[in-house]
Structure 1
Amino acid sequence: MATAATKAGAPERVDLQHHRYRIIAGKRGGACHAIAYLGMRKIEECSAPTVEEAVAALQELLDRRIEQLRAERTGSVPSEAEYDEALQVLQAEMTKQSMALLLLLIRLPDGAATLPELAHRLERSESAVLATAGRLGRRLGALLDFTPDPEGLDRTLAPLLVFAEIGQRDGKRPLALRLRPETLTPLRTIDQGDTLQRR
């Protein structure tokens, strides 16, 4: 948490992370305001007599928001709305390799491909693609507070279950990934934005 203190010791400006939301608070126009951002998008705002009270009120609102989103889960699997929020945050910090992997999957029929196909299209080794997918799965899982059942998978493959279903694990056929249905709409939105930016 970054703060700038006044002479009395109370913070004049606060910039902190609360779950997947960024809160910026301070005095403006004689009042104290706290604003929550999801990625670059403003989502909530609170005013109070002090910066601390504004931040506390906003944190309470954000906690309720998370509870409401979690209530929409099917079993332990996050909803499309939760994936949308987490992917908005992740989009700002994603490496080019992670973005390329997700955009390639969303552009393929059914959001599915084998590991050799992904490696070939991304011009990377299979182990490099798996490493990228693992980092992506771990970060997305942390944003969603979601650790899926590893289904007997090793540490390399288990994080992929956060955003994909894994098929063909019998050792005779190549590993295949299919995006979770809950990720499809949020990723199509990201893909449309990426396409517009490149024009």
Structure 2
Amino acid sequence: MADELNVAELSELSAVGELVDVSLKVDFRAVGRRLGKQVQAVAAAVAAADATALTAAYRAGTATVEVDGVPVPLEAGDLIVTETPREGWTVASGGGLTVALDLTLTPELERAGLVREVVRLIQEARKSSGLEVSDRIELWWTADGAMAEALTEHGEQVAGEVLAAAVHPGTAGEGAAFDGPEGLRFWVARA
């Protein structure tokens, strides 16, 4: 799943409240039809409740609020749940499932993203050079800064994904040269 979503790591959350601020309000039309004059008292009880706990119970189908000492069950459609992600996160909920993505880009993640782009470029270069998908290749590269760090750090990963028998920093004497982002230049030749 992590590969499909292009995420570095999947973790189970103990509580969504760690990542979002939850607010609840009564859907007056739905609750009013069912409970009539009690709607204002139910709205006040919902506003006074712990929003995160009530939301969890509501999604589980077991939510109640107390009105004049009597528990009033909340049914599907009675509440409007608003989840606002905390800074640096994006959160989506549906069908009882909540998914949160940490949007913080670390230098390591940025280098991993550069490597994914390089692999894509190398695969395109293989194709434009007339190489078959199964052909082993030899790869040379030059780059600066973060791109050079990324290729040095992830050279084995690149080699494995593009079927490179060898990956060499430096220029090549043969093969066509291809340019990429961040000062990248690389050469591909059949091994």
What is the TM-score with the length of structure 1 in the denominator?
A: 0.27
Point out the structure with the larger strand share: 2
Point out the structure with the larger helix share: 1
What is the TM-score with the length of structure 2 in the denominator?
A: 0.27
Larger-gyration structure (1/2): 2
